[in-house]
Amino acid sequence: MAKLQLITNPPASRPRLLVLDSSFSLEAIRSRGLEHSVTCRDLDGFFDHVWTVHPFASLVTSNAWAEKYGSPNIYSLAPRHTFIDGKVGRFSALRWFPPLNFLIGQLGIFWFLLRLIRHQGISLIRVGDPLYLGLFGWALGRVCRLPLVVRVGANHDKTYELTGRPLMRRLFLSRKFEKVAERFVFARADLVAGANQDNLDFALANNAKSEFSTLFRYGNLIDRRHFVEPATRGGGVALLHELGVGLQRFLLYVGRLEEIKHPDHVLRVLGILRRRGHDVRAVFAGDGALSGRLRDLSRTLGVEDRTILCGNQAQQWLSQILPHAAAVISPHTGRALSEAALAAAPIVAYDVDWQSELVQTGVTGELVPNLKWEEMAKATERFLADPDYARTMGRAARRRALEMLDPEALDQHEREQYAALLIRFAQRRGRPG
């Protein structure tokens, strides 16, 4: 951990970026080998420095990582990157009153970031969602007169439609108030970037300006090991022997074990396939609140001895395992779906969110109606019954992913969008571009 010196720096010849992102704490990033998803944000030197901030990271970090309460922890992640873990509360003595402690802590990190922006000459602010982070980033940008970029990585309207629950109930109480926040932030954003077309369409339907909207796809966030030709990656067979899978066929799920992701449907698919006589296992790479319920469900379905829960795994492990899957089952995934396609794995996916942009039945995999696990089992069985078809679909998925997710092309697109935004914002404030 490094202490940040809040002193005025000489003006940078290149812009500097502040990112508010609550996807992962630094502890999770390091344990999963996701550093590239953060360090890629400087766009190969386009930004002189990038500060990434999780405003309430200690909510999800372990006690061994850092104190739950207090001032933010500041880490030097790479020469051009600083990571700041915020706290879920300011004072340990106020742990008995979490709402007040959270509010004090967030006001503290807001003040800290105001000073950071002014002393470090930060040029623009980017947030990872239009809800809490969106309001936080908008307020910072308004006070400091900086442009705001909102990257949209989910379709909150569809999520609510499926779950019937607000995304951030503790903060916003109901979906009605979340909608007010989303529409407020999108209308005031200087640039809105969807991770895919579905997510961008959600933003456009909620006040985002089409003339200041674009796509920032996952490609340049993905660890470069996933772009390596699958046949040359090596190591996967040894890892499978360590898991007890060996050379047996297996289904693979990669993602959070949370209700919204429907990992239980993978077990239901496995149960159907086992009843139909297929000697296949299911491997789950990920962790979450449903891990215990998945174990219970595997016993109920009689597939406990065929289910392997691996927990969170590093990118090297995933890149080596993915090419060996008989099928990757994707009820609802984002970056993990891209990684599966880059591994030339046969994919069975629900038609939800952005998944149809990458997976098309008979073209790049098998796309089935959302939440229809019987159809998902039937589609998976096609791959098991016809390995040649499975390999053909896997290779086609990789070709499409390489076209859609080319990191160099995406970096260049982002550089162009940021440059245009900075010029536009400078002109709007009456300064020369």
pLDDT tens, position by position, 74-128 = 999 999 999 999 999 999 999 899 999 999 999 999 999 999 999 999 999 999 9
Query: CA-to-CA distance for 154 and 194, rounded, in angstroms?
Result: 8
Question: Mean pLDDT over all residues of the chain?
Answer: 93
3-state secondary structure of 334: coil
pLDDT beyond 70 at 7:
no
Helix (H) or strand (E) holding 317: helix 315-321
Find the mean pLDDT for residues 209-232.
95
Confidence class for position 431, pLDDT limits 50, 70, 90: low
User: Could you give phi then psi for residue 411, rounded to 5 degrees?
Assistant: -60, -45
Tokens representing 87 are 């706290």
Q: Are 263 and 328 within 8 A, CB to CB?
A: no
- For 276-309, how does the pLDDT look when each residue is reduced to its tens digit (9 = 90+)? 999 999 999 999 999 999 999 999 999 999 999 9
**Nearest alpha-carbon partner for 41 in 161, 136, 117, 127:** 127
pLDDT beyond 50 at 172:
yes
pLDDT, position 430: 66
pTM of this structure: 0.89
- Concatenating the DSSP letter of every residue in 162-190 gives HH-S-TTHHHHSSHHHHHHHHHHHHHH-S
Please state, for a pLDDT cut of 70, what percent of the chain lies above it: 96
Q: Are 30 and 1 within 8 A, CB to CB?
A: no
> Residue written as tokens 């098998």?
366
Tally Cβ neighbours within 10 Å of residue 160: 15
* Antiparallel, parallel or unpaired: β 81-85 and 73-78: antiparallel
Find the mean pLDDT for residues 160-170.
89
Helix (H) or strand (E) holding 272: helix 264-275
List the 280-285 sheet strands across, edge first.
Answer: 307-311, 280-285, 249-254, 327-330, 347-350, 366-368
Tokens representing 317 are 């492990």
pLDDT, position 12: 60
Confidence class for position 162, pLDDT limits 50, 70, 90: confident
Query: CA-to-CA distance for 156 and 159, rounded, in angstroms?
Result: 5
Q: Are 259 and 345 within 8 A, CB to CB?
A: no
